[in-house]
Amino acid sequence: MTLAWMHRPRATRAALGTALALLPLVAPLSPLRAQHDATSTLNRAVETYARVTTARGSFEQSLTNPLTGTTVVARGDFIQQRPSHLAIHFTDPAGDRIVADGKWVWVYVPSATPGQVMRMPVGDESSGSGPVGVDFIAQFLTKPMLDRYDVSDGAADTVGGARTHVVVLIPRGTAQFTRAKLWVDDADGVVRQFEVTDASGTVRRVRLLKVAFNVPVDRAAFTFTPPAGVKVVDQSSMLSGKS
């Protein structure tokens, strides 16, 4: 299971799917040659992403439900130290947090489930070990994973003033989504935006508003202490398939 670190207000299970990984989507390094076929575009992003160790920035997420025709928008800030440390602070809804401390993922979303925090063991998305991976983009931009997808070109687009080309990924086997799209910057291979569609047709789109890479991070940011009076709900058994 991957925790997408996006927030779905008023839904406990959706809160588990908080887009935990939007961060390492990008990295500011040397300019890359502009080629725009889908495979070359994806390979540039893979090359860029491989050099990211830390990230800090802000994001905006939209979650569109095809059944209701509604779209919910959430915003927040993040800090990440790959591969297992992540801190997401939502500014809207204010007070919601997701923290991965290297051992546990803490999901505290009082806007949806007041009075409790969920705790799950951290896993490794790129290797498939552990029930919860916090490096969401690793499943898209780690070379051994690329054989799992059919890759196609989604044409050119502009995101936040940056010229990008879209790469569309369709899983070849069982996956937690039916389609993913990455908006890859033409200039440097940075993923400026990504979108995931699940089996129900729900579309989660995340756009980076600000981001800095390979910057110093304070490890204290990855510490979470449950507030007084809040119940800790351990999800380990459920995620491992045990009763």
User: Percentage of the chain surpassing pLDDT 90?
Assistant: 57
Fold held by 12-216: outer membrane lipoprotein receptor (LolB), chain A (2.50.20)
What's the pLDDT score for residue 239? 53
What's the pLDDT score for residue 126? 46
Structure confidence at residue 181 as a pLDDT band (50, 70, 90): very high
Rounded average pLDDT over 204-226: 93
Average the pLDDT over each of 46-55, 73-82, 213-222 and give the range with the smallest value: 46-55
The Cα 139–Cα 111 span in angstroms is: 29
Is this structure's pTM higher than 0.85?
Answer: no
Q: Is the pLDDT of residue 112 over 50?
A: yes
What's the pLDDT score for residue 49? 84
What's the pLDDT score for residue 10? 42
- Domains of the chain, by residue range, sit at 12-216
Rounded average pLDDT over 42-51: 89
Higher pLDDT, 19 or 191: 191
